[in-house]
Structure formats: structure tokens, C-alpha cells
């Protein structure tokens, strides 16, 4: 009688967590504070208290990290914020940084 041999192989797939990118807002002397708060609430989903605190830190300093996201989300949120600012005529600067 012939003996049957069964070979079992296991493939290991290593998944790497996607990189996180910082969204950074910069202070300027032209963009109104209430507009910055509106952007923080509408696009970055901050509550009013948190948005006000972040806006004040930006106002008193030079820049502030708003959040960390995977690249595509960080880029999309940044583009939305800058587009809205340009539509309103503000030089508001938001960047994605590694």
C-alpha cells in the first residue's frame, strides 16, 4: 500500500502600519481667528473649545500641529482647508509634514 504524505505550508504576510503625517497650521496676520476656528471644527472635527484653544496657540506662536493622519487623509484635509481659505481671500497656510 502506498502511503500518502500531505505537506502543509504557511505563508506569513507581514503588514506594516501606514505612516503618520502631521498637519501643521501656521500663524499669519491676515486670516481671521474665527475663520481658523471654523476650519478646525468643519474639516478637522475639533469641538469648539478645542478649536479655540488650538487657534490661540497658533496665534501666540508660529505654528501648531493639528493632528496626525495617514498621508492621503492628511493631504485631503490640508487641501480642503487651503482651498476654502483661498476662496475667502486669506493667505492661510496649512502643510503636511512627516
Calpha distance 86→18 (Å, rounded): 30
Calpha distance 98→64 (Å, rounded): 14
Radius of gyration, alpha carbons of the chain: 23
The CATH class given to the 21-97 domain equals alpha beta
Calpha distance 14→19 (Å, rounded): 15
Q: Which three cell numbers stand for residue 76?
A: 485631503
What proportion of the chain, given as a percentage, has pLDDT over 90?
Answer: 82
Residue 12 pLDDT: 77
Residue 38 pLDDT: 98
- pLDDT of 2-17, one tens digit each? 677 777 777 777 888 8
Q: Which residue has the cell 474665527?
A: 34
Q: Which residue has the cell 475639533?
A: 46
Q: What is the pTM of this model?
A: 0.81
Amino acid at each position: 500500500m502506498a502511503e500518502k504524505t500531505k505537506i502543509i505550508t504557511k505563508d506569513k504576510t507581514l503588514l506594516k502600519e501606514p505612516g503618520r503625517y502631521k498637519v501643521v497650521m501656521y500663524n499669519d496676520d491676515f486670516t481671521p481667528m474665527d475663520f481658523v476656528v471654523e476650519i478646525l471644527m468643519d474639516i478637522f472635527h475639533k469641538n469648539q473649545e478645542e478649536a479655540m484653544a488650538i487657534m490661540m496657540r497658533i496665534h501666540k506662536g508660529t505654528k501648531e500641529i493639528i493632528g496626525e493622519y495617514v498621508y492621503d487623509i492628511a493631504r485631503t484635509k490640508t487641501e480642503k482647508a487651503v482651498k476654502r481659505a483661498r476662496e475667502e481671500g486669506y493667505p492661510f497656510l496649512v502643510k503636511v509634514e512627516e
